[in-house]
């Protein structure tokens, strides 16, 4: 697990955009796993800027989103399909037919979940999976107690997650308590994983995910078992990590090695 500690949220977003840019440069037809929420927003703005500057193209890219609320149509302002269209897809050259977000209005969500898994498999699997992390350690909507080998499925959201998302819904508006989400086992099959976290409210979750025991009570901790994970945090999100200086030393030495190889 690579731990990158940067000064602020903007630096985290820039690092994330550079990582995705490198992926698309190496493989223009990459399959990206994408996330919603507050953490990826600055990253998506950086990607849009890079696209507008002619640095990257999404023309051959295919995407699969992590999750979607059950009971919200794709044109609902709080649906994740609407979020992705507004925050990224409509601003770059991606073919919308190549963007997949779980169908929150599926008549048979259980069958949909199995079909979603199959479409990812047929696409060749996810090359790079983008993640955020919840305050309780959830990745996607895999809440604490989720099976660490779970597949795409319908999940009941915890009260903490429902409360955290309440600010996005108007008083009296229907707020889903169920969601379709990629499973932890599904996420772990991605060839590489990029997790971004910023702010003090993510510090405990990051410490548990990076330095704590692997446990279903902290779903993000399973990432310790992945061969290629990069965790990028600002100083606020890193404040409960015990070995920040060591992680920074590792980054320094790795950069020296790369510089020597390139010389």
Question: Which amino acids are annotated catalytic?
Answer: 67, 136, 138, 143
- Quick count: other Cβ atoms within 10 Å of Cβ 227? 9
| Distance set, CA 138 to CA 60, 91, 141, 148, 219 (Å) | 31, 29, 6, 11, 5
- Cα–Cα distance between 109 and 3 in angstroms, integer? 36
Helix (H, G, I), strand (E, B) or coil at 155: strand
Contact assessment for residue 163 and residue 234, using Cβ atoms and an 8 Å cutoff: no
H-assigned helices in 53-108: 80-87
In sequence order, which residues have a C-beta less than 8 Å from that of residue 247 and are 6 or more positions away? 3, 4, 5, 241
Contact assessment for residue 61 and residue 25, using Cβ atoms and an 8 Å cutoff: no
């Amino acid at each position: 697990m690579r731990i990158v500690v940067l000064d602020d949220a903007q630096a985290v977003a820039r690092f994330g955009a550079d990582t995705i840019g490198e992926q698309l440069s190496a493989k223009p037809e990459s399959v990206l796993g994408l996330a919603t929420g507050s953490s990826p927003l600055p990253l998506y703005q950086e990607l849009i800027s890079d696209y507008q500057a002619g640095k990257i193209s999404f023309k051959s890219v295919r995407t699969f989103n992590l999750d979607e609320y059950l009971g919200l149509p794709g044109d609902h302002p709080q649906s994740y399909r609407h979020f992705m269209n507004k925050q990224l897809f409509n601003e770059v050259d991606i073919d919308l037919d190549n963007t997949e977000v779980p169908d929150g209005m599926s008549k048979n969500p259980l069958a949909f979940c199995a079909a979603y898994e199959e479409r990812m498999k047929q696409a060749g699997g996810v090359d790079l999976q983008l993640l955020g992390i919840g305050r309780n350690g959830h990745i996607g909507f895999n809440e604490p107690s989720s099976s660490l080998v779970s597949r795409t499925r319908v999940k009941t959201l915890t009260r903490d997650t429902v409360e955290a998302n309440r600010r996005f819904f108007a008083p009296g508006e229907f707020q889903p308590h169920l969601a379709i989400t990629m499973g932890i086992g599904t996420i772990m099959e991605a060839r590489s994983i990029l997790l971004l976290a910023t702010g003090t409210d993510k510090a405990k979750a990051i410490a548990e995910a990076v330095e704590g025991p692997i446990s279903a009570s902290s779903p993000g901790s399973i990432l310790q078992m992945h061969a290629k994970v990069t965790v990028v945090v600002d100083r606020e999100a890193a404040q409960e990590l015990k070995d920040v200086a060591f992680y920074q030393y590792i980054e320094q030495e790795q950069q020296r090695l790369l510089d020597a190889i390139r010389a």
